[in-house]
A = this chain, B = another copy of it.
Amino acid sequence: MSLMKNILGREIPVKVNGRHVIPYMGIGQHKPAGRKTGPPIPSGADYQKSKLLKSLEEALDRINLKNGMTISFHHHLRDGDYLINRVVELLAKKGLRDIVLAPSALFPVHEKLVDYIKQGVISHIEGSMNGPIGKFCTTGQMNKVAVLRSHGGRYRAIQDGDLHIDAAFIAAPTADPHGNANGVNGPSACGPLGFALADSLYADKVIVVTDNLVPFPAWPWSIEGGNVDYVVPVEKLGDPEKIVSGTTKINTDPDRLKIAELAARLVRDAGLIDEPEFSFQAGAGGMSLAFVQYMAQYMREKKVIADFVRGGSTKLLTDMLKEGLTRFILDGQSFDLAGVESLRNNRNHIETNPFVSYNYHTKGCFAPRVKASVLGGTEIDLNFNVNVNTHSDGWLLHGIGGFQDAADAYLTIITAPLYRKNNPIIVDRVHTVTAPGETIDAVVTDYGIAINPQRQDLSERLKNSDLPVISIEELYQKAVSVTGKPNKPKTKDRVVAVIEWRDGTVIDAVRELEIS
């Protein structure tokens, strides 16, 4: 495998699965050429009969998949999804081989795909692999190289024609016989369906699978019937309890609460709350939720109304909307039942998709309009590069999610404990780079806050603050003084996955682990 180095000095393959790689060149340096791709032009004459099919088997018979073709899925049903396993099982029964699986993400529930990868039914994954499939990938047993993309990067790849989807299977909590579909109603309600939008627009064949068939029109139509070939009613799309949680829980660990508070104070003391067009984004992890709570408290104190807050939505955010602390929620996925209910009923809770939120190959998405974005990571290094994909022991266990995209905010904050068990989180060099240091503005730990030296303007904003600002080197020294300098994972030459930057260039490669 020929290799080359990108601008970060990372060794990456020249070709991936036969396709030439463009090396990461720095933010905004790679300029795309050409035109967006288009799906085949259909004729209404071919869609006069009912689109309703009896079963997934019938759908697979109709679409005439061939070996080597690419199929896609969204991950809004998260760890509750039944569809991916079921479709792959049926493909195996049909004797298909070398299928490229292009889900927006895989979860532990999809562990049984390992067998189909071993058997050669699936050649490789283009998509996020959370947990077991990622772990399996790291062992080097996948036939081809996996491709990791952010939410925005996946939309971009499909839109730009880098990722051609032959057939998209869209799990739809509600759909009508025309193929209009949404995620806000039905027993498998998950909230938005935006991760499936690109698939519906650009795939050659689109199959909507639903356990809640309603009369036309299913409204809202997050997925439009005019893009859909077939509608397949099934008994159950997934396990509702694993699709969204009943409630999301705020972290109560005092160290984590301290980090959340420091992050919120950083946003406040930088003066962002007091400026017009305030907005923020935080995830659904316990520490992020705690951050939201502090943020809400500061906004109340200062009588500030945000122009918008960015979901993943949770009860905390929907409460802020109800309380009038924000004009809108711009929601990409709902994490709990309150999020789903609010999206269904509150007109100012807006469903978004990666085109509007995160896609870098647009005439602007809203990611850079977010004033403060609070994100997590597995490792941060002295150059502020962040790793969210592999752990420091080298295992590939996470997708990129929206990390690269959300890091486009005015103030991107990484919150992390200084170390976990015996692993320092601040390291000299991250095992793999998910996002380059130039996109990261501050790292908030329980031992202090490091500001990226490239952001002198931010240091300036904080000069009257009593926040514990120290250098990233100091954080690193402190971390290794506790944990000791850990051994780096031993890897083989083989590249098992590449990490694409959101513009389609490759920022790093994941290598096969040497397993002792």
Measuring CB to CB, which residues of chain A are less than 8 angstroms from any residue of chain B?
27-48, 51, 159-160, 178-179, 206, 215-217, 219, 221, 224-229, 277, 307-308, 328, 330, 347-348, 350, 355-356, 359-366, 368-369, 408, 503
Q: Is the CB of A360 within 8 A of B44?
A: yes
Complex CA distance for A29 and B45, rounded to whole angstroms: 8
Contacts known (A43-B503, A347-B347); A363 close to B219, Cβ less than 8 A: no
Partner of A355, one of B224, B308, B350, B359: B224
Complex CA distance for A277 and B219, rounded to whole angstroms: 15
Partner of A330, one of B43, B47, B217: B217
Q: Is the CB of B48 within 8 A of A368?
A: yes
Cβ contacts under 8 Å, A408 to chain B: 44
Partner of A356, one of B43, B226, B368: B226
Identical copies of this chain, number = 2
Contacts known (A216-B369, A348-B219, A355-B224); A362 close to B42, Cβ less than 8 A: yes
- Distance to closest chain B CB from A117 (angstroms): 31
Partner of A42, one of B43, B178, B361: B361
Partner of A37, one of B35, B219, B356: B35
Contacts known (A216-B366, A359-B226); A44 close to B32, Cβ less than 8 A: no
Q: Which B residue sits closest to A205, measured CB to CB?
A: B363
- Apart from the given pairs A41-B159, A44-B360, A217-B350, 16 other A-B contacts in the complex at a CB distance below 8 Å: A30-B43, A32-B41, A32-B42, A35-B39, A38-B38, A43-B361, A47-B362, A178-B364, A179-B364, A215-B307, A217-B330, A219-B348, A224-B355, A225-B356, A226-B362, A229-B363
- Distance to closest chain B CB from A369 (angstroms): 6
Cβ contacts under 8 Å, A35 to chain B: 37-41
Complex CA distance for A215 and B328, rounded to whole angstroms: 12
- Distance to closest chain B CB from A167 (angstroms): 13
Q: Is the CB of B31 within 8 A of A360?
A: no
Cβ contacts under 8 Å, A229 to chain B: 363
Complex CA distance for A365 and B224, rounded to whole angstroms: 9
Please list 8 pairs of residues, one from A and one from B, whose beta carbons are closer than 8 Å in the complex, sorted by A's number: A43-B503, A44-B360, A44-B364, A44-B368, A215-B277, A216-B277, A225-B356, A225-B363
Cβ contacts under 8 Å, A308 to chain B: 216-217
Q: Is the CB of A369 within 8 A of B39?
A: no
Cβ contacts under 8 Å, A350 to chain B: 217, 219
Complex CA distance for A227 and B361, rounded to whole angstroms: 10
Q: Is the CB of B226 within 8 A of A364?
A: yes
Q: Which B residue sits closest to A408, measured CB to CB?
A: B44
